[in-house]
Chain A
Amino acid sequence: MTAAGVLVTGLGAVSSLGSTVDALWQAALAGRRGIADLRLFPTHSHRTSLAAEVTTEAAAAARRGLGRAERFACTAAHAATADLDPSALRTARAGVFFGSSTGALFEGERFFAELLQQRESTLRPIAAHQNDGPGTAVARALGVRGPVVTFSTACTSANVAIAAALDALRSGEIDVAIAGGADELCETTYAGFNSLRAVDPQATRPFRRSRAGLSMGEGAGVVLLETLAHAQARGARGLCELVGAGRSCDAHHVSAPEPNGAGAAAAIRVALHEAGLDAAAVTFVNAHGTGTPHNDDAESKAMQAVFGARAASLPLTSTKSLVGHLLGAAGGIEAVLTTLSIVHRLLPPTAGEEPIDAALGLDVVTGAPRQLPAHNVGLSTNLAFGGNNAVILLRSHSA
């Protein structure tokens, strides 16, 4: 590893499986789903009724006055930076790179409903509505003075943010970055995905023959990234290395993936190239795996295009089967889970009982966690509206 190396040194996660990284990991290893009846808003007027909702008050109670996504973001960011001297963040050498697809749209909807009835009470909810709300809230809470950038590329937002953080660290602009994403459930996205018939009435079944759509989720996933020099200087333990990222656009359709997965494959190849790795180095995949028929099909073709025959024996999982689809935060929580897979050498299973779709030609991990080798390169992929693709590569770190 060169001096330009970038380490993951901290993790934070809020999801339907809990508001701590440990709660998330234990549930993931057990294959326990956090998908249940949605309580945040009535579902009688929607086509479906399930979601992966954050119900732990731990995430909500501490910071009243913030929108849900802001609370998720701050809770995860505080956890990720818990072992870092706060003064290391209160400098222009620290940055926040965040993804969010809707900001605090749930609060925005409540405000709009009141506005339509001529009875709105406070502006506070709408202040959190903008997409930069979660990332900016993190920067404000931690006193960051360096670059603060919010990416809103739908379901790739967090991976795009992590990629931008990697660039900023490698360029020498900053030493420390808080990167990831946060999103919250709201009626607009819930109804919107339902209008596309993209939501499974049951809990999502990625890569299964019977797959019928995604399960909406909410939460935050945050990684603390440091240059190797900064981490070494403070004696921090590197959990893994962030070695590459790749982004591409299908330029095909506003909401459907390019059916052959060409765009996703291109993003993976870019990441491998930038990491200086051959495809053979990748030991497992945390897939986008939304559970929609088109996504899983296109993603499997991307895997075959990049990995060839090895795609059939490359361990792959969809953690969206556990925590749902966190949209702009998906890449964040999947980066956390990919890091944990590297640290513990275990790949959590894709939840569900139904048969895997053999036509996809993938080695989908089911039932129990899969033991991984001593040294790993994990690929985490995200695909999104707008034909957006973004992937990251994480590698075992031995220091």
Chain B
Amino acid sequence: MKGRDVVITGVGCLGAYGIGLPALARALAVGLPCSTPIDRSAGYHRRHAATQVAACAGLDLSPWLSPQAARRMSDLSQFAVACARMAIADAGLSDVRSDRTAVAVATAFGPGGFTEQLARQILEKGGKAASPFLFTDCVANAAAGQIGIDLGARGANLTICQREAGPLLALAQGADEIARGRADVCVAGAVDEIKPLVHALLDRFRALARQDGDGERPRPFDARRGGMLAGEGATMLVLEAEGNARARGARILARVGPTVRAFDATASRAGFGHDATALAATLSARLAAELAEVDTVVSTAAGTRAGDALEAAILWATMPQGPRVLAPKAVHGEYGGGTLATAMLALAGSEFAFPPACDQPDATLGIRLAAGHLRANRVLLTALAAGGAAAWTLLDQP
């Protein structure tokens, strides 16, 4: 869909790195994972399970969310609403109460904490003990709904659950709402919370980095990589039609290009597939000319063996010019839409450290991570999901 040109005019983000783009920039300039020990007191974890998580504990959301409002929400909804408000303020918008304001949010796991509490109530005390408060905010679209209520956004209100591909799919849906003229403003992004149960389950699937003799770190494209760092947080972007944004004198941060969506049917239910040839062919067929001008890739690589290998094969097959590759999940972890915020930093110009945990690049993959101060002209955001979904999005300098 071509339609109206879509631009990004505001960003709100939070994660284990802190609140806002400057906090993320500082973390990426250091290159170390923003990890802390996961709470294992519930007994969900096995003895040798991963111990680290990129958690948002201790973040002060009060500038964005009153304590009274926060009490009515799961952590997930709090993250989402706070970032939506942050993004709207960053865009210089004050009142977006309208049926022309849309919301498109991705979440891999939804409000897992509330769901766990509710399931515990039911399993341990019976169905009659179920809390209506927990139930109404434990649906996957609670965060998007809370944004809608908070902002008065009465346009389409979308929630996408497609694991690691979700953030780009949500961005694409949001951009489509603007391009087609259905909405004038769209808050689009991703949010996730990582509670001990989700962490323990990810570990059981061997998705998480464990102790490897040199710490427990995510190592994208590294020879020693053995899993990812689960991270929680949120990133929300304000999307507008370029004509509208320019007419109101808005600061334009990026132009949203096309998104390519594909599926790798060789993937198992919980793992990555291996059909790089087909995925690369789809990407190339849709974006052949545009890919030649990509100078920076904000990669989906999180440190998993199969996922990073698939990513590397696709990058080699589609962009022989060898663009700079950033792997920010080494810092902010997987989930919560951190790559969206990282892409905004890359376009604005920022310092990126070489992640010390990735100092033994896997020669078979042939990817060496970029470092130093860089400012991208064209970013390709990549997303490969366990289960097979894939998406790629172009972002350009305005």
Contact = CB atoms under 8 A, between A and B. Distances in A.
Interface of A: 43, 45-47, 90, 92, 95-96, 100-101, 103, 108-109, 112-113, 115-116, 118, 123, 126-128, 130-133, 136-137, 139-140, 143-154, 160, 164, 167, 170-171, 173, 187-188, 190-196, 247-255, 263, 266, 270, 384-388
Interface of B: 1, 43-44, 97, 99, 103, 108-110, 115-116, 118-124, 126-132, 134-142, 144-146, 148-149, 151-163, 169, 173, 176, 180, 182, 197, 201, 204-205, 261-265, 267, 269-270, 278, 281-282, 285, 387-389
Contacts of B132: 192, 195-196
Contact of A188 (B118, B136, B146, B182): B118
B197 to A, nearest CB: 8
Contacts of A193: 135
Contact of A249 (B135, B155, B265): B155
Contact of A147 (B109, B115, B197, B263): B263
A190 B119 CA distance: 11
Contact of A148 (B123, B126, B162, B285): B162
A149 to B, nearest CB: 5
B173 A164 contact: yes
A44 to B, nearest CB: 8
B6 to A, nearest CB: 14
B130 A195 contact: yes
B121 to A, nearest CB: 8
Contact of B145 (A96, A133, A196, A385): A385
A152 B160 contact: yes
Given A133-B269, A254-B146, A387-B148, A192 B154 contact: no
Contacts of A147: 261-263
A263 B119 contact: no
A46 B128 contact: yes
Contact of B136 (A46, A113, A136, A385): A385
A251 B169 contact: no
B270 A127 contact: yes
B135 A196 contact: yes
A192 B135 contact: yes
B161 A190 contact: no
B141 A385 contact: yes
A144 B148 CA distance: 33
A120 B262 CA distance: 35
Contacts of A46: 126-128
Contacts of A251: 97, 148-149, 151-154
25 contacts: A43-B127, A47-B128, A92-B262, A92-B285, A112-B123, A112-B197, A128-B269, A130-B108, A131-B161, A132-B163, A136-B389, A140-B388, A144-B263, A146-B261, A147-B263, A151-B161, A154-B140, A171-B1, A173-B261, A187-B122, A191-B128, A249-B148, A249-B155, A387-B148, A387-B157
Contacts of A108: 119
B263 A146 contact: yes
B157 A388 contact: yes
A152 B140 contact: yes
Given A139-B265, A143-B265, A248 B160 contact: no
B51 to A, nearest CB: 19
Contacts of B118: 188, 191-192
B193 to A, nearest CB: 15
A108 to B, nearest CB: 8
Given A143-B265, A253-B149, 12 more contacts: A45-B126, A92-B262, A109-B119, A123-B204, A145-B278, A160-B158, A167-B176, A187-B122, A188-B122, A195-B130, A248-B155, A385-B145
A191 B201 contact: no
Contacts of A249: 103, 145, 148, 153-157
A132 B386 CA distance: 11
A61 to B, nearest CB: 19
Could you say which of B116, B130, B139, B201 has the most chain A C-beta atoms within 10 Å of its C-beta? B139
A86 to B, nearest CB: 12
B156 A152 contact: no
Nearest to A385: B139
Given A192-B118, A194-B127, A140 B267 contact: yes
A386 B142 contact: yes
B185 to A, nearest CB: 13
B139 A386 contact: yes
Given A139-B265, A254-B136, A167 B180 contact: yes
A92 to B, nearest CB: 4
A295 to B, nearest CB: 15
B142 A385 contact: yes
A254 B145 contact: yes
A-B CB proximity, top 4 nearest? A386-B145, A45-B126, A192-B135, A147-B261
